[in-house]
């Protein structure tokens, strides 16, 4: 198409040593014209003008607001990408503003939760917020709003509800699923049941936005997102591509989730939590035997109950296998600052898109379980995996001081 893509966000200090050669991206349309001429044996010349500014550092702001008193349900959205960035992520940042307006009007002193709102640069901002400002015990759960305006017809998007990882099981995943589907109910079927307006599907934990960082630090994080997006990270991510329907469905689902957690009757929440736990475990057990997952779900419910003000679930005592010394996103780029060869090995592992999810979830599980139990829980959550690759990755991380056993 005619879109000009952008890449290379957030260069590292090491990248700045070499990344001083002016470069441009061209659209697929222009690229194909150049390729066609080259295939014909023609010599192609290009004249370009690059206006660029290279800085030693970039200071990006964080904005934080609270309504009511703790504990809080925290809503997050990143705001840092190049213009126009309508779906990624003006959509999430704008929804955060609207949620703050509505929840300020709705808030009552008898709510069991207050509400907090955080606008940050993606990943870097949430990491800095936790390390420098946040009191983690104040937050019950995080709902991260990223790319919430993609359209089915223009962007080929589906509304995805990304659940918490098993290691951070929480009924907040179930409530977000339930209320998003309720908001998406439209025309009646031949039997009188509501039909979905848009494609909506719930998914096991996936990585890719700020909910990850909060999960790493022990706060259950979920994310509604529209994906894929044909105009992702390009000059064509403009306002006319944004879907009002997607914004409405997700916005209503998130708002209803927050209000239910804040003011629903205890027995309603207890019943819902029990039902969602059965549904979640039932889905896992269709394909495989589960054992450790049941205990982790009970532990998640126990944490939910402590915040909600009633007893449910059950805590178990385990002997932790891993100590995650340097919490945060682990990538080949992160490791390259310490060891180039190790980074290359890790990069090869991460060619499998699921590997990063498995590695980070294994670390979260390992902070609560033994090695055998952690791997067992990981496979109960995601199915069979090659144990040797994450074990090798953990050896690298141990040598570099990221983890200890």
Read off φ and ψ for residue 334, nearest 5 degrees.
-60, -45
Query: What is the per-residue pLDDT for 183?
Result: 98
Query: Could you identify the residue written with the tokens 């969602």?
Result: 276
Residue 242 above 70 pLDDT? Answer: yes
57-74 residue pLDDT tens: 778 899 999 999 999 999
Domain 63-263: CATH superfamily is Zn peptidases (3.40.630.10)
Question: 262-310, pLDDT tens digit by residue?
Answer: 999 999 999 999 999 999 999 999 999 999 999 999 999 999 999 999 9
Quote the CA–CA distance of 112 and 125 in Å, as a whole number: 28
- Average confidence score pLDDT of the chain: 95
Cα-based distances in Å from 241 to 144, 153, 246, 248:
21, 9, 11, 15
| Chain segment 203-226, per-residue pLDDT in tens | 999 999 999 999 999 999 999 999
Summarize the confidence of residues 242-260 as an average pLDDT: 99
133 Cβ contact partners less than 8 Å away, ≥ 6 residues apart: 62, 64
Res. 192 pLDDT band, cuts 50 70 90 = confident
User: Which pTM was predicted?
Assistant: 0.95
Give the 3-state secondary structure of residue 196.
strand
pLDDT at 115 over 70: yes
Least confident window among 24-33, 112-121, 151-160: 24-33
Residue 10, pLDDT > 70, answer no
pLDDT of 191 over the 90 cut: no
pLDDT (average), residues 390-403: 97
* Cβ-Cβ contacts under 8 Å for 58 (sequence gap 6 or more): none
Using the predicted structure, report yes or no on whether residue 94 has a pLDDT greater than 90: yes
Q: Where are the domains of the chain?
A: 1-58, 63-263, 268-308, 323-404
What is the pLDDT confidence band of residue 201, given thresholds at 50, 70 and 90? very high
Residue 14 has pLDDT above 80, yes or no: no
Taking the C-alpha atoms of residue 244 and residue 251, their distance in angstroms, rounded to an integer, is 10
9 band by pLDDT with thresholds 50, 70 and 90:
low
Mean pLDDT (whole number) for 101-130: 98
- Whole-number percent of the chain with pLDDT over 90: 85
Q: In this predicted structure, which of 38-52, 98-112, 374-388 has the lowest mean pLDDT?
A: 38-52
- 8 pLDDT band, cuts 50/70/90, is low
Give the torsion through C-alpha atoms of 151, 193, 172, 283, to 10 deg: -100
> Side-chain half-sphere of 64: how many Cα atoms within 13 Å?
11
Question: For residue 162, what are the β-bridge partners?
Answer: 203, 223
Mean pLDDT throughout 92-102? 99
Minimum mean pLDDT among 1-10, 220-229, 392-401: which range? 1-10
Given this model, what pLDDT does residue 213 score?
A: 98
For residues 29, 34, 35, 36, the Cα torsion angle rounded to the nearest 10 degrees is 90
Q: What is the pLDDT of residues 20-55, one digit of tens each?
A: 777 788 999 999 999 999 999 999 998 888 887 777
Q: pLDDT at position 153, please? A: 94
Average pLDDT over residues 155-180: 99
**For residue 81, what pLDDT is reported?**
87
On whether the CB atoms of residues 135 and 204 are closer than 8 A, the answer is: no
pLDDT of 96 over the 90 cut: yes
Q: Which residues in 194-322 belong to E strands, given as ranges?
A: 194-196, 200-203, 221-227
Q: Is the distance from CB of 78 to CB of 122 less than 8 angstroms? A: yes
- pLDDT (average), residues 186-212: 93
Distance of CA 351 to the CA centre of its chain: 19
- Report the interhelical angle of 92-106 vs 244-263 (nearest 10°): 40
CB 112 within 8 A of CB 263: yes
Q: How confident is the model at residue 337 (pLDDT cuts 50, 70, 90)?
A: confident
Which comes out higher in pLDDT, residue 189 or 208? 208
CB of 368 closer than 8 Å to CB of 167: yes
């Amino acid at each position: 198409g005619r879109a000009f893509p952008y890449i290379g966000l957030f260069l590292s200090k090491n990248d700045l040593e070499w990344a001083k050669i002016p470069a441009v991206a061209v659209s697929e349309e222009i690229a194909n014209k150049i390729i066609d001429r080259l295939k014909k044996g023609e010599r192609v010349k290009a004249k370009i003008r690059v206006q660029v500014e290279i800085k030693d550092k970039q200071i990006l702001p964080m904005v934080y607001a609270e309504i009511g008193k703790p504990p809080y349900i925290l809503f997050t959205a990143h705001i840092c990408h190049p213009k126009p960035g309508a779906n990624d992520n003006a959509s999430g940042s704008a929804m955060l503003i609207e949620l703050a307006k509505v929840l300020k009007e709705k808030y009552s002193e008898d709510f069991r939760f207050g509400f907090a709102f955080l606008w940050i640069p993606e990943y870097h901002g949430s990491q800095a917020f936790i390390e420098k400002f946040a009191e983690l015990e104040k937050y019950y759960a995080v709902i991260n709003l990223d790319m919430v305006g993609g359209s089915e017809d223009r962007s080929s998007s589906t509304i995805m509800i990304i659940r918490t990882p098993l290691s951070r099981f929480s009924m907040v995943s179930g409530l977000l699923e339930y209320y998003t589907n309720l908001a998406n109910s439209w025309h009646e079927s031949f039997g009188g049941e509501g039909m979905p307006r848009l494609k909506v599907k719930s998914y096991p934990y996936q990585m890719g936005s700020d909910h990850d960082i909060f999960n790493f630090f022990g706060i259950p994080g979920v994310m509604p997102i529209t994906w894929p997006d044909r105009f992702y990270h390009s000059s064509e991510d403009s306002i006319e591509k944004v879907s009002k329907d997607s914004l409405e469905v997700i916005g209503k689902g998130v708002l209803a989730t927050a209000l239910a957690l804040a003011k629903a009757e205890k027995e309603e929440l207890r019943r819902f939590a029990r039902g969602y736990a059965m549904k979640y475990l039932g889905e896992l057990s269709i394909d495989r035997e589960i054992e450790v997952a049941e205990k982790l779900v009970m532990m998640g419910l126990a944490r939910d109950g402590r915040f909600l003000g009633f007893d449910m679930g059950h805590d178990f005592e385990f002997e932790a296998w891993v100590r995650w010394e340097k919490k945060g996103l682990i990538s080949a780029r992160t490791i390259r600052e310490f060891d180039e060869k190790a980074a290359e090995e890790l990069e090869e592992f991460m060619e499998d898109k699921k590997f990063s999810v498995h590695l980070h979830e294994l670390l979260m599980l390992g902070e609560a379980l033994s090695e055998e139990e952690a791997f067992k829980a990981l496979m109960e959550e995601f199915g069979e995996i090659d144990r040797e690759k994450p074990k090798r990755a953990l050896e690298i991380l141990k040598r570099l001081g990221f983890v200890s056993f």
